Amino acid sequence: MRAWASNRPDDITALFTDDALYYAEPHREPWRGHAEIVARWLERKDEPGEADFAWRPVCVTDDTGVIQGMTTYPDKTYSNLWVIRFAPDGRCREFTEWWMRHDAR
């Protein structure tokens, strides 16, 4: 949450292993390593206070976490599902996100 709220490169980098893979969409090429993950994150960043985020763990093991979340902006809401694969030191080695915009009706 700190990295999302601050958008500071050091906070983002601290989450991931040096060779981490970040799949912004499940079947696309991933962002690879700190430099690309930070750069692409900052291209898509939310400004502090721009959105609210609520989350809950669905399943957590020693090396994998599945998180369900909801991101609410003033004009739109997204459901999120994240699969996070952890390195032994607790940092993320692979992150895959699925997101779906809620119907405006």
The string of pLDDT tens digits covering residues 1-56 is: 888 888 999 999 999 999 999 999 888 999 999 999 999 999 999 888 889 999 99
Q: How confident is the model at residue 105 (pLDDT cuts 50, 70, 90)?
A: low
Question: What pLDDT, on a 0 to 100 scale, did the predictor assign at position 26?
Answer: 84
> What's this model's pTM, rounded to 2 decimal places?
0.89
CA distances from 65 to 32, 53, 62, 91, 105 (A): 20, 18, 8, 12, 32
**Residue 97's closest CA among 18, 37, 39?**
37
Whether residue 70 is predicted with pLDDT greater than 90 in this model: the reply is: yes
Question: What pairs with residue 86 in β-bridges?
Answer: 92
Residue 97 reports pLDDT greater than 80: yes
**What fold characterizes domain 2-101?**
Nuclear Transport Factor 2; Chain: A, (3.10.450)
pLDDT at site 47:
86
